[in-house]
């Protein structure tokens, strides 16, 4: 019976987020006594949104990925291990020994935490449970102990639900996504670093007064500051840095302009589809607990609707390559995650209230730590790829998304205790950031 259930879940997972999430959302809506027609409509609207999101992200990956690789080769970067990105890391997580049990474990942790009022976040982003599964998969591969792998899923889940609580005020205040929060991925996990940097900047005279946003650029530059123009300019510049001629660089710029314009429209389909579920969930939880302060946990990708998030993402394509060269002993060539690098700094955008000056500082620190950890986990990723049958031979691989996650790294190091000097430094840095975030009014830095 359990095998049939696991195979059924894997069958749905294999169809991807654009199919999986509509089915899950429609079922949850019906269980919450939303009319069947409205539930199906909500699910389909979310599916439409994710199809559009996937198309845009794939276009960014197809266009920006080769540009980033050309940029690396042009400037002679000698980084030998390629970042496979989340498109390569997520299938490994699902295919691992803990992949099939990750969804029920993550849901059970969420339910228990809600029952005991340990969180106010209701996670409906089932697809991105792959981040939790990845932590479990790495731990299982390294230790050979299935229960440690399952514990990794549960610990990752519990921490991300708490992060959902902490980031909700930022998501609602800056992005205007009422009742929603983000809890998955590198952006939510590394945003405590942005909190610390924001607090430090606030104590530096003159520097703390610097405030550069897309809005101020637009105000001073007029039409040149419009998101559509910023996207076109940055995309074209990336093309020229990659060594492209005019015929290749200008089309890249136009496509990035398209991303700036279309991304908010696509994301609005997802938020519109989630609205009935969000309102109904609030009603139910309010009746049962006399508390309306619950948050619906969704994909960090919805934050791509903001022009500051996309602008920061484009700026960090060349910056991340520069940082990769600076990190001592680094062998990882950022590639697979470069197209969606904006997701790594998306929550930081809200922490800094869209201040691009601060985002560049904290984003640089976030990417430095991410690349540092990704370099440490090269053998872990390679072993996981071989264990899941997704790679053979002697090639090495890395991944910035999850492979560079301090949460995954710290949990695995508790059992592996490899490279203790680097491990202790990373644990101290991340621990201080988490502690600072919690002390400062539960993340309100």
**Tens-place pLDDT, residues 347-405:** 999 999 999 999 999 999 999 999 999 999 999 998 998 888 777 667 788 899 999 99
Ramachandran angles phi, psi of 330, nearest 5°: -70, 140
Structure confidence at residue 195 (pLDDT)? 93
Query: Does residue 445 form part of some domain?
Result: no
123 bridge partner residues: 297
Of 140-149, 204-213, 292-301, least confident by mean pLDDT is 292-301
pLDDT surpasses 60 at 443: no
Distance (Å, whole) CA 430 – CA 426: 6
Ramachandran angles phi, psi of 284, nearest 5°: -65, -50
For 110-166, give the DSSP string: HHHHHHTTS--EEE---GGGHHHHHHHHHHHHHH--HHHHHHHHHHHHHHHHHHHHH
Distance (Å, whole) CA 97 – CA 393: 21
Give the mean pLDDT of 213-239: 71
Mean pLDDT in the chain? 84
Query: Does residue 101 form part of some domain?
Result: yes
Tokens 């314009």 — which residue? 261
Q: Provide the pLDDT confidence category of residue 220 given band limits of 50, 70 and 90.
A: low
For 301-343, give the DSSP string: GGGGGSHHHHHHHHHHHHHHHHHHHHSTT--EE--TTGGGGGG
Query: Does residue 360 form part of some domain?
Result: yes
**Model-wide pTM > 0.75:** yes
Q: Which residues contact 157 (CB under 8 A, 6 or more apart)?
A: 105, 106, 109, 110, 129, 132
Give the mean pLDDT of 318-344: 86
CA 273, 277, 282, 283 torsion-angle sign: positive
Structure confidence at residue 413 (pLDDT)? 93
- 138 vs 9: which has the higher pLDDT: 138
Q: Provide the pLDDT confidence category of residue 214 given band limits of 50, 70 and 90.
A: low
Query: Does residue 444 form part of some domain?
Result: no
Q: Provide the pLDDT confidence category of residue 266 given band limits of 50, 70 and 90.
A: confident
> What's the number of domains the chain is made of?
1
Query: Does residue 433 form part of some domain?
Result: yes
Give the mean pLDDT of 86-98: 82
Distance (Å, whole) CA 68 – CA 139: 31
Structure confidence at residue 139 (pLDDT)? 96
Q: Provide the pLDDT confidence category of residue 219 given band limits of 50, 70 and 90.
A: low
Distance (Å, whole) CA 257 – CA 138: 38
- Domain of 46, in residue numbers: 2-439
Give the mean pLDDT of 100-126: 88
Structure confidence at residue 61 (pLDDT)? 65
Query: Does residue 361 form part of some domain?
Result: yes
């Amino acid at each position: 019976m359990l095998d049939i259930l696991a195979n059924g879940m894997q069958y749905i997972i294999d169809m991807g987020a654009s199919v999986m999430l509509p089915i899950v959302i429609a079922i949850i809506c019906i269980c919450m006594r939303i009319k069947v027609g409205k539930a199906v409509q909500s699910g389909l609207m979310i599916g439409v949104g994710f199809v559009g999101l996937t198309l845009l992200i794939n276009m960014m990956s197809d266009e920006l990925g080769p540009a980033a690789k050309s940029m690396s080769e042009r400037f002679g970067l000698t980084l030998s291990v390629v970042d496979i990105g989340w498109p390569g890391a997520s299938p490994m997580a699902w295919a691992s020994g803990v992949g099939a049990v990750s969804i029920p474990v993550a849901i059970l942790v969420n339910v228990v935490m809600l029952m005991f009022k340990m969180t106010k976040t209701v996670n409906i982003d089932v697809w991105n449970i792959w981040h939790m599964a990845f932590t479990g998969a790495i731990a299982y591969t390294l230790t050979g102990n299935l229960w440690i792998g399952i514990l990794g899923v549960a610990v990752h889940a519990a921490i991300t639900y708490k992060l959902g609580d902490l980031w909700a005020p930022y998501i609602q205040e800056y992005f205007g996504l009422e009742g929603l929060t983000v809890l998955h991925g590198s952006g939510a996990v590394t945003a405590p670093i942005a909190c610390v940097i924001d607090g430090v900047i606030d104590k530096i005279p003159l520097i703390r007064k610097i405030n550069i946003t897309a809005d101020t650029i637009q105000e001073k530059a007029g039409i040149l500051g419009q998101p559509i123009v910023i996207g076109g300019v940055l995309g074209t510049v990336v093309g020229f840095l990659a060594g492209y001629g005019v015929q290749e660089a200008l089309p890249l710029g136009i496509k990035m302009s398209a991303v700036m314009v279309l991304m908010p429209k696509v994301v609005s389909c997802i938020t519109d589809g989630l609205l009935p579920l969000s309102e109904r969930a609030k009603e139910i939880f309010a009746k049962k607990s006399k508390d309306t302060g619950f948050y619906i946990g969704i994909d960090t990708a919805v934050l791509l609707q903001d022009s500051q998030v996309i602008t920061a993402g484009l700026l960090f394509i060349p910056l991340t390559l520069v940082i990769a060269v600076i990190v001592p002993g680094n062998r990882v060539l950022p590639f697979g995650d470069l197209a969606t690098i904006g997701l790594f700094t998306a929550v930081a955008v809200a922490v800094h209230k869209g201040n691009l000056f601060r985002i560049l500082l904290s984003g640089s620190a976030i990417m430095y730590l991410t690349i540092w950890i990704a370099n440490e986990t090269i053998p872990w990723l390679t072993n996981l790829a071989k264990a899941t049958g997704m790679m053979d031979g002697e090639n090495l691989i890395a991944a910035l998304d999850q492979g560079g996650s301090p949460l995954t790294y710290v949990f695995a190091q508790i059992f592996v205790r490899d490279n203790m000097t680097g491990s202790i430094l990373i644990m101290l840095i991340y621990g201080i950031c988490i502690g600072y975030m919690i002390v400062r009014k539960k993340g309100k830095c």
